[in-house]
């Protein structure tokens, strides 16, 4: 069995946890949800609670749902995609925030994979045992930005090898709640499961190697925020978000690793995958692609000037 994670912020006050999840995930019965809560597969702000707890609003709920290894056949869906580049081997897209990459319980449709299969039907014919459907790497649901897609088996194998060998350069931009102590820096801190909140990640001494470099590119914000560029030298789960928290400069909008009470009204993390560079799987030439920052994030920065 594999797992999928559903994460959301509580908007209504005074509601029971189990009833709230039933409304959010109608494909699951109330008894199923109550059993999941009892088994610790549901947390509120990282803590295990009882099914009948009444929520105040603003809490972050994480639901871990077991998913059968043999999932239902994926259906193509005509969902608009912003394509930055494409040829016979690859496509490069600018993923919007709010789009889940893979279908799963709670998100059975409307995902990036559904959109890819409609745009490039040949992807569904790829001889891929892992069922990646052209997906080489992932972005979190609330992270926007550039992604490379493989359109055939050879391209998929080559790009996955480049990621494993750390030959792919990935640059992100994030607005942090506080300015880092230095203009540039390197965060070398291992990441693993948080021993106190097992459903999230943290810097832990016995974690996997995680290295992030950063550079402050704009700090002209009236409330002390800073726009920072991050380069990932490793690819750990939630790496930038965890490392930003580690240096006490959490990402604006991050309700898991950031401030519980957000100062800026934003329904997503202010984290954007800005650039990616890799060797083209056919030509071997080094190529680089950029995804413009979403207008909504640009407007947030203007309001904070």
> Which listed residue (140, 142, 158, 254) is catalytic?
140
CA angle 8, 13, 18 (to 5 degrees): 60
Residue located via tokens 């790497």: 137
Rg of the Cα atoms in the chain: 20
Distance CA 145, CA 274 (A): 6
Residue 140 annotated in active site: yes
CA-CA distance, 102 to 65, in Å (whole number)?
Answer: 14
d(CA 135, CA 131): 9
Nearest to 229 by CA among 166, 182, 184: 184
Q: Where are the alpha helices (DSSP H) in 148-207?
A: 153-164
Going by C-alpha positions, the residue among 245, 23, 259, 242 that lies closest to residue 140 is 242
Check if the beta carbon of residue 208 is closer than 8 Å to that of residue 293: no
Supply 300's token pair.
């947030």
Quick check: 110 and 75 in contact, CB under 8 A? no
The enclosing H or E element of 247 equals none
Nearest to 102 by CA among 113, 92, 91: 113
Give the three-state DSSP class for 212: strand
Residues with catalytic annotation? 140
């Amino acid at each position: 069995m594999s797992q999928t994670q559903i994460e959301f912020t509580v908007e209504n006050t005074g509601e029971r946890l189990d009833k709230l999840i039933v409304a959010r995930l109608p494909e699951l019965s109330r008894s199923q949800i109550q059993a999941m809560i009892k088994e610790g597969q549901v947390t509120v702000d990282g803590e295990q609670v009882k099914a009948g707890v009444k929520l105040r609003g603003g809490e972050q709920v994480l639901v871990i749902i077991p998913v059968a290894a043999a999932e239902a056949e994926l259906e193509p869906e005509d969902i608009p995609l912003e394509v930055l580049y494409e040829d016979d081997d690859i496509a490069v897209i600018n993923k919007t925030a709010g789009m889940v990459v893979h279908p799963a319980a709670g998100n059975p449709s409307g995902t990036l994979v559904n959109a890819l299969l409609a745009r490039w039907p040949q992807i569904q014919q790829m001889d891929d045992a892992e069922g990646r459907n052209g997906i080489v790497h992932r972005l979190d649901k609330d992270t926007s930005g550039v992604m490379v897609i493989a359109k055939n088996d050879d391209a998929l194998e080559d790009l996955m090898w480049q990621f494993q060998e750390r030959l792919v350069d990935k640059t992100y931009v994030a607005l942090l709640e506080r300015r880092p102590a230095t203009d540039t820096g390197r965060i070398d801190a291992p990441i693993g499961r948080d021993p106190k909140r097992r459903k999230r990640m943290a810097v832990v001494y016995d974690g996997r190697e995680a290295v992030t470099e950063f550079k402050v590119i704009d700090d002209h914000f009236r409330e002390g925020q800073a726009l920072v560029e991050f380069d990932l030298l490793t690819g750990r789960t939630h790496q930038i978000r965890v490392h930003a928290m580690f240096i006490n400069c959490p990402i604006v909008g991050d309700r898991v690793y950031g401030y519980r009470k957000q100062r800026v009204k934003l329904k997503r993390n202010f984290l954007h995958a800005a650039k990616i560079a890799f060797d083209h799987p056919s030509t071997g030439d080094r190529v680089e692609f950029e995804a413009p920052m979403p207008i909504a994030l640009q407007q947030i920065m203007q309001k904070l000037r």
